A and B are shown apart, each in its own frame.
Chain A
């Protein structure tokens, strides 16, 4: 079963508008971490935002916010005021306890969403 599911292969948004990229996850751990990364066409992986499972408030980093709905197991990324430079692949990821249950090892990524920002 997929641990991280990103159901939108591609998304389009007009410059200066907001866009939401969807992410759902599957875990039985009580403590876990959720991440979003951006991968521009140059290929590097850029960290955007982190949400801990016990964080009661949604994480925000500048124009990025994470809409965390724990009961629904969703961790959607909201980008406000889109810019042309936001055009890239976006990945959702989850870090869980390892098989021994004593340390956080496994970091699993979704399939990604390609975001295109139109002028």
Chain B
């Protein structure tokens, strides 16, 4: 049972470099999410995709772009990394079945440091 797989687990970038965080789920979920976690701030939603072909901004989208490549994959791109983007990034997926929602399943996280 792979669930939600995120890559890479760790990354160090120099300011101005770009990178893409990859996320894939094998549970046939429609919804996928990207969050960042910073001390004292909880998990803040960057972007989400309610279903294949749609993406929407969350609370903190500036400096990021996303692609819902297909139902399985949802990638997060940093075009020009800044030290303020140093954080732990989580990808998640979930499904909504009317009143009975399934919980969101999370990847293991990516610890990104921008120097």
- CB < 8 Å neighbour of A98 from B56, B100, B106: B56
Q: A50-B103, A95-B96, A99-B56 in contact; A104/B42 too (CB < 8 A)?
A: no
CA distance A44 to B45 in the complex (A): 17
Q: Which residues of B contact A44 (CB under 8 A)?
A: 106, 108-109
Q: A47-B103, A50-B103, A52-B99 in contact; A107/B41 too (CB < 8 A)?
A: no
Q: A105-B56, A106-B45 in contact; A50/B101 too (CB < 8 A)?
A: yes
Number of A interface residues, CB 8 Å?
28
Cβ B42 vs Cβ A105 within 8 A? no
Output the least CB separation between A94 and chain B (Å). Answer: 11
- CB < 8 Å neighbour of B88 from A9, A43, A107: A43
Interface string of A90-104 (1 = CB under 8 A from B): 010101001100011
Judge whether A80 is part of the interface by a CB distance below 8 angstroms.
Answer: no
Q: Which residues of B contact A98 (CB under 8 A)?
A: 50, 56
Q: A44-B106, A45-B90, A105-B31 in contact; A33/B42 too (CB < 8 A)?
A: no
Judge whether B94 is part of the interface by a CB distance below 8 angstroms.
Answer: yes
CA distance A49 to B1 in the complex (A): 21
Q: Which residues of B contact A68 (CB under 8 A)?
A: none
Q: A43-B88, A91-B42, A98-B50 in contact; A107/B99 too (CB < 8 A)?
A: no
Q: Which residues of B contact A50 (CB under 8 A)?
A: 101, 103
Q: A45-B90, A109-B35 in contact; A104/B96 too (CB < 8 A)?
A: yes
Cβ B45 vs Cβ A104 within 8 A? no
Judge whether A25 is part of the interface by a CB distance below 8 angstroms.
Answer: no
CA distance A6 to B48 in the complex (A): 23
A43 to B, closest residue via Cβ: B109
Output the least CB separation between A46 and chain B (Å). Answer: 9
A91, A108, A111: most-surrounded residue (chain B CB, <10 A): A108
Interface string of A59-73 (1 = CB under 8 A from B): 000000000000000
Q: Which residues of A contact B48 (CB under 8 A)?
A: 105-107
Chain B interface (Cβ < 8 Å from any Cβ of A) = 30-31, 33, 35, 40-45, 48-51, 56, 58-59, 88, 90, 92, 94, 96, 99-101, 103-106, 108-109
- Of the A-B pairs whose beta carbons lie under 8 Å apart in the complex, a sample of 30, sorted by A's number, is A9-B40, A33-B96, A35-B103, A35-B104, A43-B88, A45-B90, A45-B106, A50-B101, A50-B103, A52-B99, A52-B101, A55-B99, A95-B94, A95-B96, A98-B50, A99-B56, A103-B30, A103-B51, A103-B96, A104-B31, A105-B31, A105-B56, A106-B56, A106-B58, A107-B33, A107-B45, A107-B94, A109-B44, A110-B42, A112-B43
